[in-house]
């Protein structure tokens, strides 16, 4: 069901247990492709949050006691454990855990801002959900967030992620591939880790990793580069679709996320490896139709990116396929993107100019793993 003819937002907790697959972003991804009704659609991700703690106090929580990636839990993971008699319910449950004050503050602020913006005529409150505007310090000081945003009638997509990712684009040691291609490579790393686990004597089985059937995977482009021994400038040009003249255009919008996983298992077959160090800062410039390249701007002046959630997969099921082999089906854990909205005036371009490509440059020796869901040219709301 699409939210046709109304403003729409979903609040996503970045650190969860039973809502681990971020299914709440499904409607947004669908509307991003199909809807141009002129009303804003947005995703607000609160990193370190668990859905239990947005609007109630839980004495016994199924919240995990650590988070994937760089995010930190927004509740008291050091509260005393429940008495032993309750351990059959949840051996990690905390006694007297009263939820998360930070999450409650966020939930109240977002609810009030959303309805005040769209029902009470105070449109400026919509800026809370629009990454073109900074979050009020009363919220940004509490926790890390990501915001994705679009208004269909005011913008047009200019990146064909599948086309660019299937073209074999490689520049300066950086490669761009489709998300599906990238997931296939990640599954090979998972399979190698499973083979190492079996070879260690921890299991007599041979494991095969597979992506669970029937899952919708939203198209995206994934840019990767290896860790280097010294800081190096690496650039990649992302070609855009069509004749992208800038008449009436206010911003260039990019939906971005950083994610790099690791693969290794302990004796209990729990993933146990050190989270990789990955570059989350870079510069963006525009290549114009006449070949000129604008001065770059730094992503850090617009949004904060990090390896907030480092996992690509969660185990869905394991089944025997004969001859001592077991297949493990994994479900893909979707990216939670951050929209970066660059005012075209920041690049010093004119309405008479036309954009040919977006140039992303990294000055770093760290590994690179950047997902680009979309690039859009937007008019002012």
**CB 346: neighbour CB atoms within 10 A?**
16
Q: What is the pLDDT of residues 199-218, one digit of tens each?
A: 999 999 999 999 998 888 99
118 and 16 part of one domain = yes
Query: What is the predicted pLDDT for the residue at 51?
Result: 86
33 and 98 part of one domain = yes
What is the average pLDDT score of the chain? Answer: 91
How far apart are the C-alpha atoms of 185 and 48, rounded to whole Å?
28
**What percentage of residues in the chain have a pLDDT greater than 90?**
75
94 and 63 part of one domain = yes
How far apart are the C-alpha atoms of 167 and 182, rounded to whole Å?
14
Query: What is the predicted pLDDT for the residue at 276?
Result: 84
CATH of the domain at 172: 2.60.120
The sign of the torsion formed by the CA atoms of 13, 16, 20, 23 equals negative
160 and 89 part of one domain = no
Domain end marker among 115, 143, 171: 143
Residue 369, in any domain of the structure: yes
Query: What is the predicted pLDDT for the residue at 303?
Result: 97
Q: What is the pLDDT of residues 117-138, one digit of tens each?
A: 999 989 999 999 999 999 999 9
Q: Which domain holds residue 104?
A: 1-143
138 and 205 part of one domain = no
Residue 37, in any domain of the structure: yes
Average pLDDT over residues 41-64: 80
**What percentage of residues in the chain have a pLDDT greater than 70?**
92
| Contact yes or no for 120/19 (Cβ under 8 A) | no
| Percentages of the chain per state (helix, strand, coil), in multiples of 5 | 20, 30, 45
Is the confidence at residue 239, as pLDDT, over 80?
yes
236 and 368 part of one domain = yes
3-state secondary structure of 111: helix
Query: What is the predicted pLDDT for the residue at 90?
Result: 59
52 and 172 part of one domain = no
Q: What is the pLDDT of residues 79-100, one digit of tens each?
A: 776 665 555 555 656 666 677 8
Kindly report which listed range (33-42, 49-58, 272-281) carries the lowest average pLDDT score: 49-58
Residue 149, in any domain of the structure: no
Question: 118 φ, ψ to 5°?
Answer: -105, -10
134 and 185 part of one domain = no
169 and 89 part of one domain = no
Query: What is the predicted pLDDT for the residue at 50?
Result: 87
Q: 313: buried, middle or exposed (CB in 10 Å: 19+, 13-18, 0-12)?
A: buried
Residue 66, in any domain of the structure: yes
Is the confidence at residue 331, as pLDDT, over 70?
yes
* Tokens representing residue 226 in the block: 């290896």
Query: What is the predicted pLDDT for the residue at 380?
Result: 84
120 and 184 part of one domain = no
Domain count, the chain: 2
8 and 75 part of one domain = yes
How confident is residue 59, by pLDDT bands cut at 50, 70 and 90?
low
302 and 188 part of one domain = yes
Domain end marker among 143, 165, 187: 143
How far apart are the C-alpha atoms of 257 and 284, rounded to whole Å?
15
| Contact yes or no for 45/76 (Cβ under 8 A) | no
How confident is residue 296, by pLDDT bands cut at 50, 70 and 90?
very high
Residue 372, in any domain of the structure: yes
Is the confidence at residue 52, as pLDDT, over 90?
no
Residue 148, in any domain of the structure: no
How far apart are the C-alpha atoms of 263 and 197, rounded to whole Å?
11
Query: What is the predicted pLDDT for the residue at 94?
Result: 62
Domain end marker among 143, 171, 189: 143
Residue 295, in any domain of the structure: yes
Query: What is the predicted pLDDT for the residue at 75?
Result: 86
How far apart are the C-alpha atoms of 242 and 356, rounded to whole Å?
8
How confident is residue 198, by pLDDT bands cut at 50, 70 and 90?
very high
Query: What is the predicted pLDDT for the residue at 275?
Result: 83
Q: What is the pLDDT of residues 139-179, one digit of tens each?
A: 999 999 999 999 988 889 999 999 999 999 999 999 999 99
pTM equals: 0.93
């Amino acid at each position: 069901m699409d939210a046709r003819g109304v403003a729409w937002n979903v609040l996503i907790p970045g650190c969860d247990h039973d809502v681990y697959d971020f299914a709440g972003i499904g409607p947004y991804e669908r509307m991003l492709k199909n809807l141009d009704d002129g009303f804003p659609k947005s995703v607000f991700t609160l990193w370190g949050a668990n859905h239990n703690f947005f609007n109630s106090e839980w004495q016994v929580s199924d919240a995990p006691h650590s988070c994937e990636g760089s995010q930190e839990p927004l509740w008291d993971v050091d509260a005393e454990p429940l008495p032993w008699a309750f351990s059959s319910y949840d051996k990690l449950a905390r006694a007297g855990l009263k939820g998360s004050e930070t999450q409650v503050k966020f939930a109240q602020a977002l609810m009030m801002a959303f309805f005040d913006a769209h029902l009470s005529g105070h449109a400026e409150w919509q800026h809370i959900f629009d990454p073109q505007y900074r979050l009020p310090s009363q919220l940004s000081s509490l926790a890390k967030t990501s915001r994705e945003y679009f208004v269909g009638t005011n913008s047009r997509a200019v990146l064909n992620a599948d086309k660019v990712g299937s073209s074999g684009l490689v520049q300066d040691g950086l490669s761009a591939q489709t998300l599906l291609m990238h997931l296939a490579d990640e599954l090979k790393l998972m399979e190698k880790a499973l083979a190492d686990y079996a070879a260690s004597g921890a299991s007599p089985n041979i494991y095969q990793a597979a992506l669970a059937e029937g899952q919708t995977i939203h198209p995206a482009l994934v840019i990767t580069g290896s860790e280097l021994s010294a800081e190096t400038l690496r650039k990649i040009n992302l070609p855009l679709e069509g004749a992208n003249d800038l008449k009436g255009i206010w911003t260039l919008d990019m939906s971005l996320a950083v994610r790099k996983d690791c693969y290794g298992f302990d004796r209990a077959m729990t993933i146990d490896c050190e989270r990789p160090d990955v570059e989350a800062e870079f510069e963006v410039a525009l290549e114009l139709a006449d070949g000129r390249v604008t001065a770059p701007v730094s992503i850090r002046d617009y949004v904060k990116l990090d390896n907030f959630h480092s996992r690509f997969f969660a185990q869905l099921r394991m089944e025997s396929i004969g001859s001592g082999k077991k297949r493990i089906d994994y479900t893909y854990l979707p990216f939670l993107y951050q929209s970066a909205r660059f005012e075209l005036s920041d690049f010093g371009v004119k309405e008479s100019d036309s954009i040919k490509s977006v140039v992303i440059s990294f000055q770093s020796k760290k590994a690179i793993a950047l997902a680009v869901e979309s690039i859009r040219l937007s008019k002012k709301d």
